[in-house]
């Protein structure tokens, strides 16, 4: 598994809320901004993205917008148009009468764990990916997502979740390739031959004994040069990165499996359950078992009211 896949596999959509709405101008949709990450795709027509005092952003057919959590925002046919909440709009359904129409697809993610939080922290409030910055495969994925969102068949939720994941991967790749300064440190490291080798190995085998000396040897660099380069590009020390990666894998196992703590500890590179529990408590303020119980109780599916 490559590094990008490893990161995004643990920040994936789960039980995402979808809507595909046709609107005839004038129209407006209002979003609370409470969701940690929402994707909007303008399948046809034009519109504007408006948020607070910020300058409105013009949207055209095929534009993809990723919106992270924050203050309420609007997608409207024209500045000043009356708006309805996305919850009310979903209940009312699409407009069927003739006129200048736009169709907006929205998908709200459920993002879990530190990997998801780190991903969101690397993004600005809004990311816009116009069609000319999308690959042909991304545009194909958008078409498939739009088609499936209009269906009502067995297994649809799982399929829509995965298609939303696919849109996220394509959108992030396009965004980060436009300007690597926007990308998280681990993504910038992939452009450096030695660091890329280390990142690939560490993500494939987080349980390995990754000392600075071993990582420097893998990168074919001196210990001092490797440490300095790693910290400059990624923004933290090699040891801190490995610990964060292991904690992310541990969170994933605790949330999504019933594996015993000793098994989780071994999987993420700790020789015993006590050493793992100490490291986990230092990072999270709770013992692994307590954290698992608390997070599972608080992770009940969100409903459409939180849009």
More confident residue, 109 or 254: 254
Beta-bridged to residue 100, according to DSSP, are none
Where is average pLDDT lowest: 50-59, 152-161, 244-253? 152-161
Percentage of the chain with pLDDT > 70?
90
Give this prediction's pTM.
Answer: 0.78
Q: CA-to-CA distance for 95 and 21, rounded, in angstroms?
A: 8
pLDDT for 178 = 79
pLDDT in tens, 238-275: 999 999 999 988 998 998 899 999 999 999 999 999 99
Nearest to 135 by CA among 109, 183, 167, 181: 167
Task: Please state, as a whole number, how many other Cβ atoms lie within 10 Å of the Cβ of residue 150.
Answer: 11
Burial class (CB in 10 A: 0-12, 13-18, 19+), 307: buried
> How far is CA 213 from each of CA 48, 159, 240, 246, rounded to the nearest angstrom?
52, 44, 15, 19
Q: Where does the pLDDT of residue 168 fall: very low under 50, low under 70, confident under 90, or very high at 90 and above?
A: confident
Span 37-48, average pLDDT: 94
CA 287 to chain centre: 26
Q: Is the pLDDT score of 307 beyond 90?
A: no
The token duo for 81 is: 């148009």
Phi, psi of 171 (to 5 degrees): -65, -45
Q: What sign for the dihedral angle of Cα 124, 41, 118, 307?
A: positive
CA 172 to chain centre: 8
pLDDT in tens, 207-229: 999 999 999 999 999 999 999 99
pLDDT in tens, 114-134: 656 667 777 889 999 999 999
More confident residue, 12 or 128: 128
Rounded (5°) CA angle 170-100-135: 15
- Print the SS3 string covering the chain: CCHHHHHHHCCCCCCCEEEEEEEECCCEEEECCCCCEEEEEEEECCEEEECCCCCCEEECCCCEEEEECCCCEEEECCCCCCCEEHHHHHHHCCCCCCCCEEEEEEEECCCCHHHHHHHHHCCCCEEEECHHHCCHHHHHHHHHHHHHHCCCCCCHHHHHHHHHHHHHHHHHHHHHHHCHHHCCHHHHHCCCHHHHHHHHHHHHCCCCCCCHHHHHHHHCCCHHHHHHHHHHHHCCCHHHHHHHHHHHHHHHHHHHCCCCHHHHHHHCCCCCHHHHHHHHHHHHCCCHHHHHHHHHHHCCCCCHHHC
Beta-bridged to residue 47, according to DSSP, are 59
Phi, psi of 158 (to 5 degrees): -65, -40
Q: Is the pLDDT score of 64 beyond 90?
A: yes
Q: Where does the pLDDT of residue 200 fall: very low under 50, low under 70, confident under 90, or very high at 90 and above?
A: very high
Q: CA-to-CA distance for 265 and 247, rounded, in angstroms?
A: 10
Q: Is the pLDDT score of 146 beyond 90?
A: no
Query: In order of start, what are the domains of the chain with their CATH numbers?
Result: 13-178 (2.60.120.280), 186-298 (1.10.10.60)
């Amino acid at each position: 598994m490559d590094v990008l896949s490893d990161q995004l596999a643990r920040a994936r959509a789960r039980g995402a809320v979808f809507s595909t709405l046709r609107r005839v101008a004038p129209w407006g949709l209002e979003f609370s901004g409470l969701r940690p990450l929402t994707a909007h795709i303008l399948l046809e027509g034009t519109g504007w993205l408006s948020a607070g005092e910020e300058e409105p952003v013009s949207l055209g057919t095929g534009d993809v917008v990723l919106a992270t959590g924050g203050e309420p925002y609007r997608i409207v046919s024209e500045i000043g148009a009356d708006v309805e909440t996305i919850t009310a709009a979903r209940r009312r359904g699409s407009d069927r009468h003739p006129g200048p129409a736009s169709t907006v697809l929205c998908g709200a993610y459920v993002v879990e764990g530190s990997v998801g939080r780190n991903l969101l922290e690397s993004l600005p409030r809004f990311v816009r990916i116009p069609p000319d910055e999308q690959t042909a495969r991304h545009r194909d994925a958008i078409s498939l997502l739009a088609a499936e969102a209009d269906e009502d068949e067995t297994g649809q939720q799982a399929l829509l979740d995965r298609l939303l994941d696919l849109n996220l991967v394509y959108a992030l790749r396009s965004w980060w390739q436009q300007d690597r300064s926007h990308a998280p440190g681990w993504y910038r490291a992939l452009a450096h031959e030695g660091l890329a080798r280390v990142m690939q190995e560490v993500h494939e085998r987080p349980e390995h004994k990754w000392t600075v000396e071993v990582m420097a040897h893998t990168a074919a660099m001196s210990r001092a040069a490797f440490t300095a380069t790693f910290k400059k590009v990624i923004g933290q020390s090699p040891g801190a990165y490995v610990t964060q990666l292991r904690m992310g894998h541990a969170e994933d196992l605790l949330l999504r499996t019933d594996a015993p703590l000793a098994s989780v500890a071994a999987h993420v590179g700790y020789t015993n359950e006590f050493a793992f529990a100490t490291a986990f408590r230092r990072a999270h303020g709770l013992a692994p078992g307590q954290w698992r119980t608390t997070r599972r109780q608080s992770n009940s599916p969100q409903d459409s009211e939180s849009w």
